[in-house]
Amino acid sequence: MLEKIIKLKEQGLTTKQIAEKLESTEGKVKYAWSKYRKSLSEPTNKKTTAPKTKNTGAKPTKKATPSMKTSGNDIVPAVIAIPSLERDAFGMATHYEDDIMHAIVQSPTALYVYWELSELSRKMLETHYHASFDSFRKELRIIDVTLVDYEQGEANRTYQFELPEMTNSWFVRPLSPNTTYIIEWGIQTIDGDFLPVLRSKPVETPRDEPAVEGRFAEVVARWQNGEVDQPEWVEVLRPYSYFDRIR
């Protein structure tokens, strides 16, 4: 099962899609995937055999150092060393080896976005495109998804721009007030197309003036009356989808 999960992850499928293909649950897929990622960072413990000694008739004495425990002829470390996270001068972890992206509202016209890409995801990109991660052009894509279903490829407007190297956060501005946005981090492929790798959840900028009439009044009424199954402003985006650059 783990081999199938790895192959499907390399194809860019989400946990939910993998669970559906394998006819399993999302919890089992997440558990297997996290266990696999953890195994990549843990050192493998090899059992060593103590050298044989001649039998002189005297009973051998067993000694155990504080860091080692002996059981028969097997020597097993008492404490397994797990690589620690890199930390800054204040003792804070500089990264957590996870794929995340969050957008936080700063004002009606500005968002603060930060992200992290795990080493495993970097290696997957390098393996797929046969290029070093540093050679990729990194870009941020801003998508206006107000009252549209972005999963179906709908968007009011989008634009993107190149990011400097060694960047993991950005202030996005100017934006439109009272608007729903999704932010994507991705790379430019050899063909010049944009490949999303990380994406934020939909976030809405607040109004910058008193509301006269709610813009969502009509869609809320349809939902309350049972005409639709869910509010029409709820957007769900599957990551690793592919977009052509608009020239």
Ramachandran region, residue 88 (left: φ > 0; alpha: ψ -120 to 50; beta: rest): beta
Q: Is the pLDDT of residue 245 over 60?
A: no
Q: Is the pLDDT of residue 79 over 90?
A: no
Specify the higher pLDDT residue, 247 or 197: 197
**What's the confidence (pLDDT) of residue 132?**
92
Q: Is the pLDDT of residue 205 over 70?
A: yes
Closest CA to 30 of 41, 15, 18, 40: 15
**What's the confidence (pLDDT) of residue 204?**
94
Cα-flanking dihedrals φ and ψ of residue 106, to 5°? -105, -35
Q: What is the value of pTM for the model shown?
A: 0.53
Specify the higher pLDDT residue, 157 or 150: 157
**What's the confidence (pLDDT) of residue 93?**
58
User: Domain 100-224 adopts which CATH fold?
Assistant: Immunoglobulin-like (2.60.40)
User: Angle CA(116)–CA(122)–CA(123) in degrees, nearest 5?
Assistant: 150
Question: Do residues 6 and 40 lie in contact, with contact meaning Cβ atoms separated by under 8 Å?
Answer: no
Task: State the average pLDDT over residues 8-16.
Answer: 75
Binned at pLDDT 50, 70 and 90, residue 224 comes out as confident
Which pLDDT tens digit goes with each residue over 110-154? 999 999 999 899 999 999 999 999 999 999 999 999 988 888 888
Question: Do residues 182 and 222 lie in contact, with contact meaning Cβ atoms separated by under 8 Å?
Answer: no
